[in-house]
A and B are shown apart, each in its own frame.
Chain A
């Protein structure tokens, strides 16, 4: 990897090899007969353990970029210079659907603004479901105790040990988001993608959620790409980029 990125940690700036490298990514949505271009050649490098915040106006393509990085969607192919999205030396644009599924299960954790917990499952089950998907039903059975212990540990760490058997509907917004973060972390991913994780919470709860993420990131050396509108949150991150007219501008 030729490209190097700057990393700011505890006031020091270091250069390290990027874990994620995005080049020339375009994305256009077809809304009926109308084509709506969202990303116009995004270039982005994210170093191992770095916290990058993406700022941008509504509809600027922040979530689209997050979905592309997370392998939920694929960039356009029509440009002369093909798009490239490398993660740990894997070219995601050339990966099969199956490989992208594995990539999401093994390396990526998603946190959404609206939590997206499964309403029929308990708090503990909402977290362990990630382990079940990663290991399959049979693999889950053999690792059941290990996964449940890890889920319980995460929930305990997020102050939810007394809520394990509760349903999401019985939890507050902050508690639900903590469960969603625990779910994203259950498989110990390298990359956490958070789409406005505090956007639906009041200031105080949002702060506590952010603290939980920061603490875990510090302990686990997690790489974090976060989309937010909140500049106060952005100020805490290692690096802030801005999406303007579908392109990245360093803030």
Chain B
């Protein structure tokens, strides 16, 4: 029983650890890809122009499915409760962005067409038929990044906010959200109820530092952005600190939109050149003249390869296309050589985080593996003790004609049986724990105040809860082998025991 319990616990522990950490990594990778696409062409801060041409060239290639222009920057967000926080701002062209990424699927406030048992159990508000129309409207708003102004009736450009940003959505145990209205403390000592549902009537203030074409900061720009919907990528860091706004809005705020190019055109020999105002007829010093158009810019173009295309092949193709594009706009866009290292796959963009989690997974597994390996010694000690206790019985069996291998095989079989039973129960327990890990974690939090999985530290709002069959099989087999290995030495010892001494053993 002891040996079986040891194997059971080891198998369950390893399975839970491997599943959670593996799931953690899998979710991280999936989430990392969700809002990035396959390949990103990045030229931060000032961005690059003629991106429509680049996108056209990219989408003409048979290896590339779609491409989308985006702007990524940081700013300050003023939340409905008056807090001001740092936020990552992504300016996107919503239709093309949805083609390249899984953005549309991350929209939270929408009707659930295929509810899961978890949604039913949690009585998700989005399943309520009376709100269906409202959620349909919110979904449409999110996908068009617009919202009707309830006072004026005008349709305005709107943003999509991370579901965890405002703190106005109460995350439930089953993983869903309910809007709630907390009280806000006022400077005069009173409180005010924040009766705001962001996709209905909420808005935020965004302040960003605009840059000129050379990358130097100009004046900060502040704008109120209505919220069309909220998104949940599953990556806490993103959900808690990101807002999507329409590309044209952010371009204007950052002064990356198309503008007239003005320059002072002077006669070099006459620094006191004057000009006559054609309207008023007044004479004054010569002013700047419009000399052309400064095209709109973006900081990033996201690219999605066709289904089945290899990531590296897509990146190589994007580099080639960018080279052609840079040649066509020589001197007006970053040259191809400088851009080579700025064309990154989604794996490159998340490499630091993915690599850290991979190493952490390996380390945790290694440590738990070592701990579980002690099971071998535990089984060995238990079997050794049993073999000693059964010395006389071994002598009897030898007297009855049992062979040396027969006795050894008896112990090995016994070890294997314990291993099988221990591994089966351990796998079942491990499987059950992994499937219910979020509920167990929540129960532990409620009962003992023990919160092991804080989403602020582990990126994700939920603990990954999927068991990989191949991992379960490996853990199961290793569990049996552990027991067999632990039984092997006592088995050999028993088998080699002198039957006469065994019979005389007291």
Where the two chains meet, the residues of A that have a C-beta atom closer than 8 Å to any C-beta of B are 64, 67, 70, 72-73, 97-98, 101-106, 108, 110, 112, 116-119, 129-130, 133-134, 183, 187
Segment 473-506 of B: residues with Cβ below 8 Å from A: 498-500, 503
Output the nearest chain B residue to A180 by Cβ-Cβ distance: B396
- Tell which of B401, B403, B406, B500 touches A73, judged by Cβ atoms closer than 8 Å: B500
Q: List the A side residues contacting B396 at CB < 8 Å.
A: 112, 116-118
Q: Which residue of A lies closest to B413 (CB)?
A: A137
Per the 8 Å Cβ criterion, residues 44-61 of B in contact with A are none
B392 to chain A minimum Cβ distance, whole angstroms, is 6
Check: B393 CB closer than 8 A to any chain A CB.
yes
Contact B399 A134 (CB under 8 A): no
Partner of B400, one of A73, A97, A105, A119: A105
In the bound complex, what is the Cα–Cα distance between A45 and B404 (angstroms)? Answer: 30
Contact in complex: A104, B400 (CB < 8 Å): yes
Partner of B499, one of A72, A105, A118: A72
Can you report 23 A-B residue pairs in the complex whose CB atoms are below 8 A from each other?
A67-B500, A67-B503, A72-B499, A73-B498, A73-B499, A101-B401, A101-B404, A101-B406, A102-B401, A104-B401, A105-B401, A106-B401, A110-B400, A112-B396, A116-B393, A116-B396, A116-B503, A119-B393, A129-B400, A133-B397, A133-B402, A133-B406, A183-B400
Output the least CB separation between A215 and chain B (Å): 23
CB-CB contacts below 8 Å: B382-399 with A? 392-393, 395-399
Known contacts A73-B498, A104-B400, then 11 further A-B pairs from the complex at CB < 8 Å, ordered by chain A residue: A97-B403, A98-B403, A101-B401, A106-B401, A112-B396, A116-B392, A116-B503, A117-B396, A129-B400, A134-B401, A187-B401
Report whether over half of chain A's contact residues are helix, strand or loop; otherwise say mixed: helix
The answer to whether A97 touches B404 (Cβ under 8 A) is yes
Q: Which residues of chain A are near B398, meaning CB under 8 Å?
A: 72, 101, 104
Provide the residues of chain A in CB contact with B403, threshold 8 Å.
97-98, 101
Shortest C-beta distance, B500 to chain A (Å), equals 5
Query: How many Å lie between the Cα of A130 and that of B401 in the bound state?
Result: 8
Which residue of chain B has its CB nearest to the CB of A131? Answer: B400
Closest chain B CB from A150 CB (angstroms)? 15
Q: Give every chain A residue within 8 A of B392 (Cβ-Cβ).
A: 116
Complex: how many Å from CA A64 to CA B501? 11
Nearest residue (CB) in A for B395 is A116
Q: How far is the CB of B162 from chain A (nearest CB, A)?
A: 63
* A70 and B499 alpha carbons, distance in the complex (Å): 11
Q: Which residues of A contact B401 (CB under 8 A)?
A: 101-106, 108, 130, 133-134, 187
Task: Give Cα distance in the complex from A117 to B390, angstroms.
Answer: 11
Residues of A within 8 A of B393 (CB): 116, 118-119
**What is the distance, in angstroms, from B397's C-beta to the closest C-beta of chain A?**
7
Chain A residues with CB under 8 A of B404:
97, 101
Min CB distance A99 to B, Å, is 10
User: Chain B residues with Cβ under 8 A from A108's Cβ?
Assistant: 401
Distance in Å from the Cβ of A97 to the closest Cβ of chain B? 7
Q: How far is the CA of A6 from the CA of B395 in the complex (A)?
A: 34
The residue on A at minimum CB distance from B499 is A72
- Is B402 in contact with A70, judged by CB distance below 8 angstroms? no
Q: Is there contact, CB below 8 Å, between B400 and A72?
A: no
| Alpha-carbon distance between A101 and B398 when the two chains are bound, in angstroms | 7
In the complex formed, the residue of B with least CB distance to A134 is: B401
Taking CB atoms, residues of chain A closer than 8 Å to B399 are: 70, 72, 104, 110, 112, 116
B499 touches A133 (CB 8 A): no
Are B402's CB and A101's CB within 8 A? yes
A73 to B501, CA, bound (A): 10
CB distance from A130 to the nearest CB of B (A): 5
CA distance in complex: A98, B403 (Å) = 7
B383 to chain A, nearest CB (A): 15
State in angstroms the CA–CA spacing of A98 and B393 once bound together: 19
Q: Which residues of B contact A110 (CB under 8 A)?
A: 399-400
The docked-state distance in angstroms from the alpha carbon of A93 to that of B500 is 16
In the bound assembly, the distance between CA atoms of A70 and B396 in angstroms comes to 12
Q: A85: shortest Cβ distance to chain B, in Å?
A: 15
Chain B residue contacts of A98, Cβ below 8 A: 403
Q: Which residues of A contact B503 (CB under 8 A)?
A: 67, 72, 112, 116
Residues in B neighbouring A101, C-beta threshold 8 A: 398, 401-404, 406
Q: Which residue of B lies closest to A186 (CB)?
A: B400
Q: Nearest CB to that of A107 among chain B residues?
A: B401
A116-B392, A118-B393 known; A133+B500 contact, CB < 8 A? no
| CA–CA, A106 and B400, complex, Å | 9
In Å, the complex CA distance between A33 and B399 comes to 28
For residues 349 through 366 of chain B, which have their beta carbon under 8 Å from a beta carbon of chain A? Answer: none
